[in-house]
Amino acid sequence: MRLATATSTKPRRLSPEDSLALWQEYRRTNDRALRDRLVLTFAPLVKYIVYKKVREMPARCEVEDFISCGLEALIQSIDRYDPEKGATLEQYAWTRIHGAVLDELRRQDWAPRSVRRWERDMERAADDFSRLHGRRPTAPELAETMGISLEELRRHRDEVTQSDVTSLNTVVLGDDETTIERLDTIAADDDRLDPVFATATEEAKTKFRAAFAQLPQREREVAVLLYVKGMTLAEIGDILGVSESRVCQIHGALKKTLRLALADDAALFQAVA
């Protein structure tokens, strides 16, 4: 005998026909409850699209900002949908959400689009080489794979690396030749004299220093040479006695480690940025 699954509370995914019928009823009645039901139905699209783009987001960006942006685009797509154009509501919503997320990503990323395009091209070429040879390419091998000169590859790598510098927690050289965070070099204004802001700023600096101190020595060396001394990846490789590709790997590892270490305090760093 077939048992009823009365305890299941997971909402059934609407078919394109059911979605259209619900949308038509919403357009006829302008009932906000119906629109809210449509939003809940397609809300998973927003998270799916955003989390597919997470790896392309600058470190300072908040995922929640992109989800909010995507939800706003979803609501607009429901209000502007025209079934006469031929697309289903889900297809139209997908297009609008994806476009809104890309626009927000470009708005929050200070690097030129050409730099990001080169970054994607280099990653794709390196992945292709790895699949073919079972290892990561050296800088000359990657340049050959991409059909560009080694000097051009180095220039684009340096542009990508510099574009990843976070705004206030970057390690820079102070007037007394000591390493400090860029946050310490910003002149105070009336807003920043706020005691609450000053406390949050000091807490953020303390947390960043603690996370930076936990990095392996080699990663700290790369960070200082890159962000404080302003050296290129090739120059750092010469100093440390490793390949340029290895420096790039170390740099990627330290960024990942800092992101993970400071992930729980993202709201704090956003507040003082």
Helix (H/G/I), strand (E/B), else coil: 103: helix
- Cα–Cα distances (Å) from 112 to 97, 136, 164, 222, 233, in that order, read 22, 27, 12, 24, 20
**pLDDT tens digits, one per residue of 166-188:** 444 444 434 444 444 444 444 44
Q: Identify which of 13, 18, 22 has the alpha carbon closest to the alpha carbon of residue 43.
A: 13
DSSP structural state of residue 14: P
**pLDDT tens digits, one per residue of 112-151:** 667 767 878 888 888 888 888 888 888 899 898 899 998 8
Confidence band for 60, pLDDT divided at 50, 70 and 90: low
Which residue is associated with the tokens 């000053």? 198
Question: How many beta carbons lie within 10 A of that of residue 203, not counting itself?
Answer: 15
For the segment 43-68, the average pLDDT, to the nearest whole number, is 75
Tokens of 111: 């690097």
DSSP structural state of residue 164: T
Confidence band for 24, pLDDT divided at 50, 70 and 90: very high
Confidence band for 52, pLDDT divided at 50, 70 and 90: confident
Torsion region of 216: left, alpha or beta (phi above 0 gives left; psi -120 to 50 gives alpha):
beta
**pLDDT tens digits, one per residue of 204-253:** 788 888 888 888 888 888 888 888 788 888 888 888 888 888 888 888 88
3-state helix, strand, coil in the chain (%, to 5): 75, 0, 25
Question: How many beta carbons lie within 10 A of that of residue 89, not counting itself?
Answer: 20
- Cα–Cα distances (Å) from 136 to 83, 129, 133, in that order, read 48, 7, 8
